[in-house]
Amino acid sequence: MKDVIIACDFGTAQQALAFLDKFENCPRKPFVKIGMELFYGAGPEIVRTIKARGHKIFLDLKLHDIPNTVRKTMKVLSGLDIDMTNVHAAGTIEMMKAALEGLTREDGTRPLLIAVTQLTSTSEERMQKDLLINATIGETIAHYAANAKEAGLDGVVCSPLEASLIKETCGKEFMAVTPGIRFADAASDDQVRITTPARAREIGSDFIVVGRPITAAEDPVAAYNRCIEEFCK
């Protein structure tokens, strides 16, 4: 079940497809994350195109709206034949339940649905001051993850360093999907709470989301294989 998801953070379909061309002869088709930049830039067609090439897709649009709008939007996204998508847990349990309903196809199948708890760019200080949440960031993340579980979701996106907290709170079957991955011998870029693919496996991540260490590598296929080697083996 463990897998490496490549964050395909490109602004145009041409750039994304040219990047994925490099993996044509790779025996393992990478799981690909399409985020807001690529989705809003290239439109839903990019999802169909990448899917048709045989990749699994995590559509990272982080929905957060009234339950009715989220339900109807998820129905549209489910029709794109994606494999995983997400919402903000801050939208409430009712909104997460509506998302799940919208995603579930008539035959009962659905993509995996995970929740964002607190963005890793939000510090405890900003959460308390800007959002007026009077708790520690750990308490907030654990509470939002428990809400996601209660709503029936499959897991959360979190920092790898929070994966064990999530598993303690929600059980080991509840998925931790973790960005913030860097090789031991590489730069951290703008990520602060980072870890290596090997350490993410030890801590209990189910999926790692890796962007620049693969997309900006001199040899992206070798970097991807290194992630697989460290994380999945």
Catalytic machinery residues: 62
By beta-carbon proximity to ligand C5P, the closer residue of 17 and 183 is 183
Residues with Cβ within 8 Å of residue 48, at least 6 apart in sequence: 80, 81
What is the nearest approach in angstroms of ligand C5P to the Cβ of residue 59? Answer: 12
Which residue's CB comes closest to ligand C5P? 211
Q: Which is nearer to ligand C5P, 9 or 71 (CB)?
A: 9
Amino acid (one-letter) located at 174? F
Which candidate, 221, 99, 79, 88, places its Cα nearest to that of 152? Answer: 99
What is the DSSP pairing of strand 112-116 with strand 155-157? parallel
Contact 17, 224 (CB under 8 A): no
With CB under 6 A, what is the number of residues at the site for ligand C5P?
16
Question: Which of 9, 154, 206, 230 touches ligand C5P by CB under 6 A?
Answer: 9
SS3 state of residue 80: coil
Radius of gyration from C-alpha coordinates of the chain:
17
Q: C-beta of 188: minimal distance to ligand C5P in Å?
A: 9
Residues within window 203-222 making contact with ligand C5P, judged by CB under 6 A:
209-213
Q: Does 191 bind ligand C5P (CB under 6 A)?
A: yes
Q: At residue 30, what is the residue type?
A: P
Q: Which is nearer to ligand C5P, 98 or 157 (CB)?
A: 157
H or E, element range at 174: none
Q: Does 7 bind ligand C5P (CB under 6 A)?
A: yes
Question: Given the rule CB under 6 A, which residues bind ligand C5P?
Answer: 7, 9, 35, 119-120, 157, 179-181, 189, 191, 209-213
